[in-house]
Structure 1
Amino acid sequence: MEIKIYTSDFKLEWDNFVRNSKNGTFLLYRDFIEYHGNRFRDYSLLFFEKGKLIALLPGHLENKVFYSHKGLTYGGMIMSKDTKAKNILSAFEYLTVTFRRQGIKKIVYKAIPHIYHQQPAEEDLYALFRNKAELTERNISSSILISEKIKYSELRKRGIKKAEKSDLKVKKSDNWEGFWKILEHNLQTRYNKQPVHSLEEILLLKKKFPKNIHLFTVKNADKDIVAGCLIFETKTVAHIQYIAASDEGKKKGATDLLVDHIISEAYPDKKYFDYGVSTEDSGLYLNEGLIEQKEGFGARATVYDIYTINL
């Protein structure tokens, strides 16, 4: 086993491996990882066995801790369809030995949730167990297996009907600024927070990944935006990254209409719809009102897990 530190010379090889992997998504291409600029000290790794690339591990170093990856929704081992359990056990063995020699104190590892896998790809979870990893954070997202949808609740059905009676319409949109104003206002008013991405960052990512990042908006009869959502589309998942509605949109059921459109019309052939997490404080607090709204569409729990290996 040979481990190499990522440099820009590996960019083409890295991206090609992600593209053909069994669990990679566009969030793990180098252009996405590197949009953060200098916020993270990149320390991504490539694993070779007998000269063949078998796995990638996006990551960065901070205070003698290796993170995979603070700037990403998920990190963890990216594996080819030929990668097997013994390969990943060997990769973890070499990784932990190497990190101990380098004085690195721990590994913080965000596993890729199973809904993003194109093939079964949980060899890393077994390797984490074998290396006495501790589950240190678990967040609940709400997902729908689209081919086996659960019926909507009556409350969600009423919201959709209210929106239709109010003559609201959903369409794919390029009015990023209009949506961003609603999103920023909601986050600032309710949580005193800003979106994780700035508008400039999202526009940059949209330019680099036009087939994966999409905006849908809801307009009223006067053609004003009253709600919108930003979708991150992978091979298996349509994931809501941001969703927000104006006061008018909330009163008229715009969010219900929008989510139904994403599930039933925009992505009816996608394997999963993922509505995003409803937890805070490293998973220790569940926003019950928020998850109840998502469960009203028939969404059920998918966990986003973070593990720690103390070296």
Structure 2
Amino acid sequence: MDKKLRAHRLDLKIQIRKYEEGYREQWEAFIERAANGTFLQRRSFMEYHGDRFQDASLMVWEGEELLAVFPAHQVGNQIFSHQGLSFGGWIFKRGLSLSFQRQIINSILGFYKNQAIQSLMVTPVPYYYSQEEGLQEVDYDTLGFEISGNKEIYLIEAPFILKDKGKKKGVRRALRKGLDVREGELTQGFWEGLMVPLYAAKIGKDPVHSWEEIALLSERHPGRIQLISAYLEEELLAGLVIFRHPQVIKVQYSAVTEHGKICRAMDFLMQYLMNLPHIHYIDMGTVYDGQTGEKLESLAYWKESFGAVSRKIPSLHLKLI
């Protein structure tokens, strides 16, 4: 879209509509081609736990053209975007100017204010998930938002060659032993045979997703939720459950057997992951205990040993009334 067209579009009126089931097909198609959408904002992902949330999502139109969506839910007189997702915020059509993005956000704020909503909590999609080169981030301060907190994640820019001497040694050991990597669909055998027992023994609780939930999400999003595993002949040594986006891999879960530790299977898997074609970032997630909020220093050190760097993802708050 050229500059003249972008400027002209700012003079056109937009309409805000609440999401309803009849818009499902348009919502799903929009997320797939949006500037900063991920499959996490698809209805097919959001609604696997839809019974826990009162949906308050919005769609922004210009005539019959869908310009943006806002995945959200409501608690009392507050709007959240979206506590069932790692992040959400405003998902924009490609090619929209920064000024037009601001106009869309202001229109959404006005819509909620007219609905007697008192406050809005937003965790925007991080910049590294954007599929539009040079997409500028809105300056939320100028729109009245305050930073209510920061979610610290650990990020690796790919491709990346391990620099930690211990990890490099581990990869060499894995290669000498003849380990191989396999990519495929997530299996119940891995989940319940290795993941769940490991979580129970190590942290005393189950993974965030049950097998039924993660299996449903895998079925709904083929090729997006995968198992990257390390084998010695036919022996499973380690696995990474990943959420695969066009240019980002999110490491969602990891597990390794005792033999896998000896063979340095996880070092081997991570080196493989960081050099997959067309991948620009590896999102290693947080290092905080989900129940206590305490930073797990050993987990932070482990992620840093693979070259991950801490990044702050802000949570935004705005009082509307």
Q: Could you tell me the TM-score, scaled by structure 2's length?
A: 0.86
Worse-superposed segment, 233-242 or 297-306: 297-306
Identify which of 28, 47, 55 aligns with 1:15: 28
**Could you tell me how far apart the structure 2 residues matched to 1:82 and 1:250 are?**
47
Q: How does 1:1-311 map to 2 (within 5 A)?
A: 1-119=14-132, 120-123=134-137, 125-126=138-139, 128-147=140-159, 149=160, 151-174=162-185, 176-181=187-192, 182-221=194-233, 223-264=234-275, 267-280=276-289, 285-311=294-320
**Could you tell me how far apart the structure 2 residues matched to 1:18 and 1:282 are?**
31
**Could you tell me how far apart the structure 2 residues matched to 1:84 and 1:193 are?**
46
Contact residue 142 and residue 300 of structure 1 kept, 8 A: yes
Q: Classify 1:43/1:289 alpha carbon distance in 2 versus 1 (closer, same or farther; 3 Å).
A: same
Partner deviation per Cα, 1:113-158 (whole Å, 9 max, x = no partner): 11110124444x42x21232222232232222224x3542001112
**Could you tell me how far apart the structure 1 residues matched to 2:222 and 2:64 are?**
34
Instruction: Supply the AA of the counterpart residue of 2:203.
Output: Y
Contact residue 154 and residue 285 of structure 2 kept, 8 A: yes
Provide the identity percentage. 29
Instruction: Supply the AA of the counterpart residue of 1:30.
Output: R
- How far did residue 230 of structure 1 move? 1.0
Partner deviation per Cα, 1:5-60 (whole Å, 9 max, x = no partner): 00111112112221221111111222111121311111110012355322110011
Contact residue 170 and residue 217 of structure 1 kept, 8 A: yes
Q: Classify 1:48/1:116 alpha carbon distance in 2 versus 1 (closer, same or farther; 3 Å).
A: same
Contact residue 140 and residue 283 of structure 1 kept, 8 A: no
Instruction: Supply the AA of the counterpart residue of 2:199.
Output: L
Instruction: Supply the AA of the counterpart residue of 1:70.
Output: Q
**Could you tell me how far apart the structure 2 residues matched to 1:237 and 1:172 are?**
16
Q: Classify 1:63/1:194 alpha carbon distance in 2 versus 1 (closer, same or farther; 3 Å).
A: farther
State the SS of the aligned residue for 1:54: strand
- How far did residue 205 of structure 1 move? 1.5
Gaps of 5+ in 1: none
Q: Superposition RMSD on alpha carbons, in Å?
A: 2.3
**Could you tell me how far apart the structure 2 residues matched to 1:114 and 1:74 are?**
11
Q: Classify 1:281/1:132 alpha carbon distance in 2 versus 1 (closer, same or farther; 3 Å).
A: farther
Contact residue 113 and residue 303 of structure 1 kept, 8 A: no
- How far did residue 70 of structure 1 move? 0.8
